Amino acid sequence: AQKVTQAQTEISVVEKEDVTLDCVYETRDTTYYLFWYKQPPSGELVFLIRRNSFDEQNEISGRYSWNFQKSTSSFNFTITASQVVDSAVYFCALSERSYGGSQGNLIFGKGTKLSVKP
């Protein structure tokens, strides 16, 4: 069965520290997609990245970077030089083809709450 685990419930760092948010997934499929979303205190969900299962290249976008490793079924997210505005709940999600079930729906982890203190 498909599953996404974000073992870190809450993380607290001081501004300018680097922080890594862990995401481990389970899937039977060879074709799947992984996502990260950010939910700031205002409540909306903001899309950050989508990665397909055939692309294991790491991605960097400004202070954000993502490390996808199929061998360990992990898709970790690192924020470099964290800022107070990074304080939010971050969700990792998986989308796969289900066998006889819903195709392409997102399975979310329970989220990691990141607090960045000044």
Binding residues for other proteins, rule: CB under 8 A, are 33, 35, 37, 43-45, 47, 50, 91, 95, 97, 102-106, 108-111
In contact, 37 and 46? CB cutoff 8 Å: yes
Nearer to other proteins, 58 or 103 (CB): 103
Q: What would the two tokens of residue 81 be?
A: 């030089």
Least CB distance to other proteins at residue 87 (A) = 18
Nearer to other proteins, 100 or 118 (CB): 100
Nearer to other proteins, 83 or 103 (CB): 103
Least CB distance to other proteins at residue 81 (A) = 27
The CA–CA distances, whole Å, from 82 to 17, 29, 57, 88, 118 equal: 6, 35, 23, 12, 10
Nearer to other proteins, 43 or 118 (CB): 43
Please give the torsion angle defined by the CA atoms of residues 109, 111, 56 and 81, in that order, rounded to the nearest 10 degrees.
180
Question: 3-state DSSP helix/strand/coil percent for the chain, to nearest 5?
Answer: 5, 55, 40
Least CB distance to other proteins at residue 118 (A) = 26
Least CB distance to other proteins at residue 33 (A) = 6
